[in-house]
Amino acid sequence: MKRFTLTTLSVFALLLTSSVAQNINIGFTVSKTGALNVDSLEQYRGFELWRDQVNAAGGIKASGKNYKVQFVGNYDDESNVKRVQQLYTRMILQDNADFLFSPYSSSLTATAAIVTEQYGKIMLTSGSAEGKTYTLGNHYLFQMFAPATEYLKGVLDMLKAKDPKATVAFVYEDASFSVAVVTPAKAYAQQLGFNVAFSEAYAPNTTDFSAIIDKVIAAKPNVLIGGGHYPDGSTLARQLYNHKVNLKMITLLVAPDSPQWSELGDAAAGVVVPSQWEPQTAFKAEYGPSGADFAKAYTAKYNVPPSYESAGGYACGMILQRAIEQAGSTDTAKVAAALNATDITTFYGKTKFATAPNEHGLQVGHSMVLAQWQRDKSGTLVKQVVWPLAGKSANLVYPIH
C-alpha cells in the first residue's frame, strides 16, 4: 500500500512538473488605475484575446511540444513609472516570467525596458511609439508600433494636399510620447511651408484648457494638432467645442482612437486620429487571423470594437508566438534571433524590426493610417479611414464645421 502511494505521488509529481514545464509565462503590467487606464485596458484585452485563442487551439507548438500561454503578474502599475520598475523586476525574479510584454505608453515602457534588458529578457512593446528607447543599444526589445516620428507625417501630407496655405497650432501633452511625436512634426510642417501660428505643451494632468484655448483663439490657426492620451485629449476636444473655436481640422493623438470617444457627441465629430490600425485596413494576413476575424472575435468577447491599442496587443502575442514556433524553442537567444529575422504581414500590417545596433528593435515595417470620426447616414458617429487615399473608406470632412 505504502509503495502504491509513493508511486502514485511520484507519477502525480512528474505530471505536475511536466505540465509546469509546458507553460510559457508572460509578464506585463496593466494601468488598471491612473491616467492611462482607458488605453491600457484596450491593450490588455488584445493580449487576453490572443492568449485565449492560442490556448483554445492547443497552445504554441514548437519542436513537437505544446506550450500553454500563462500570464503572470498582471499587476496594476497605477500609470506610475516607479511601480513599473518594481513590478517588472518582481515578475522576472519571483513570478518566473519567460517573456514580457510592455506596459502601456512610451514613458512606462522606457522604464520597463531598463529592467528587462538588465535581466536579459525579451520584451515586445505595444502602445509605445517613442523611438529613443530603441537607440540605447538594447538587445531584447522589439517594437510593434510604428515609431513616433511617423505619427503626424500623414496628417501634414494630407493637409498639404487639401489646404496648402493652412496655419497650424500645436497643443500637446508635456509627456515623452507626445513631445517625441510633435517635435519632428513641427519641423516637417515648416518644411512643407505651413505657418506654425502657435505651439505650447500642457501638463499631463490638465483639466482646464481655457487659458490655452484663449491663446489658440488669439493666434487664429485653421488647424489644431496635438493631444496626448485619453483624459487630456477628450477634455481638450470637449472644451474646444464648448468655446466654439473656429478650426477647420482637429487632429489629436491616441484618445480619438478609443471607441469611448463617440461618447463626446458633437465634440467628437470631425476629429482626426493617427492610427496604427483600423478594422477597415485590409492587409492580407500571411500568419494569424484576418482583420475581419480578429475584429469579430474581439467584438463578440468585449462588446466593443477593437482599437489600435487592442490590435497592437494581439499582434504582440502573435509575433512572439511565431518567433517561438520558428525558433522551435523558448530559449531567449533563439527566440530573439527569430524576432530579428521577422518580416511578415499579419492583419495588423507589416512587422519588421531594425537590427542595426544603434536602433535595434525599432519597428521599420509598419505604416500608419489616419481615421476621422464622421456621422453616417443614420447620424451615428463612426470612424472612417481617410488617409492614405489608396486605403480610404471615406473622404476627409474638411472643414469640420
Residues found near other proteins in the complex (CB under 8 A): 32-35, 37-38, 78-79, 174, 200-203, 205-208, 210-212, 214-215, 217-218, 220, 230-231, 234-235, 238, 242-244, 246, 265
Q: Looking at beta carbons only, is 211 or 333 nearer to other proteins?
A: 211
Q: Looking at beta carbons only, is 204 or 328 nearer to other proteins?
A: 204
Q: Looking at beta carbons only, is 161 or 203 nearer to other proteins?
A: 203
Q: Looking at beta carbons only, is 15 or 211 nearer to other proteins?
A: 211
- As measured in angstroms, the least distance from the Cβ of 379 to other proteins is 18
How many H helices and E strands in the chain?
11, 15
SS3 10: helix
SS3 219: helix
SS3 286: coil
Residue type, 135: T
- As measured in angstroms, the least distance from the Cβ of 313 to other proteins is 19
Q: Looking at beta carbons only, is 210 or 358 nearer to other proteins?
A: 210
- As measured in angstroms, the least distance from the Cβ of 29 to other proteins is 15
- As measured in angstroms, the least distance from the Cβ of 171 to other proteins is 10
Q: Looking at beta carbons only, is 259 or 391 nearer to other proteins?
A: 259
Residue type, 107: S
> What DSSP line would sit under 31-66, residue for residue?
--SSTTHHHHHHHHHHHHHHHHHHHHTTSEEETTEE
> Which grid cell is 396?
476627409
What distance in Å separates the CA atoms of residue 291 and residue 280, rounded to the nearest whole number? 8
Q: Looking at beta carbons only, is 217 or 297 nearer to other proteins?
A: 217
What distance in Å separates the CA atoms of residue 46 and residue 301, rounded to the nearest whole number? 11
> Which grid cell is 132?
529613443
What distance in Å separates the CA atoms of residue 158 and residue 272, rounded to the nearest whole number? 11
H helices of 79-165, in order, are: 81-93, 106-118, 153-162
Q: Which residue has the cell 491616441?
A: 254
- As measured in angstroms, the least distance from the Cβ of 360 to other proteins is 34
Q: Looking at beta carbons only, is 75 or 202 nearer to other proteins?
A: 202
Q: Looking at beta carbons only, is 70 or 239 nearer to other proteins?
A: 239
- As measured in angstroms, the least distance from the Cβ of 236 to other proteins is 11
The dihedral built from the CA positions of residue 219, 220, 226 and 229, taken in this order, carries a sign that is positive
- As measured in angstroms, the least distance from the Cβ of 80 to other proteins is 10
> Which grid cell is 312?
497592437
Helix (H) or strand (E) holding 232: helix 230-242
Q: How many CA atoms lie within 13 A of 44 on its CB side?
A: 21
What distance in Å separates the CA atoms of residue 36 and residue 102, rounded to the nearest whole number? 13
Cα distance from N-terminal residue to C-terminal residue, the chain:
85
- As measured in angstroms, the least distance from the Cβ of 43 to other proteins is 15
- As measured in angstroms, the least distance from the Cβ of 230 to other proteins is 8
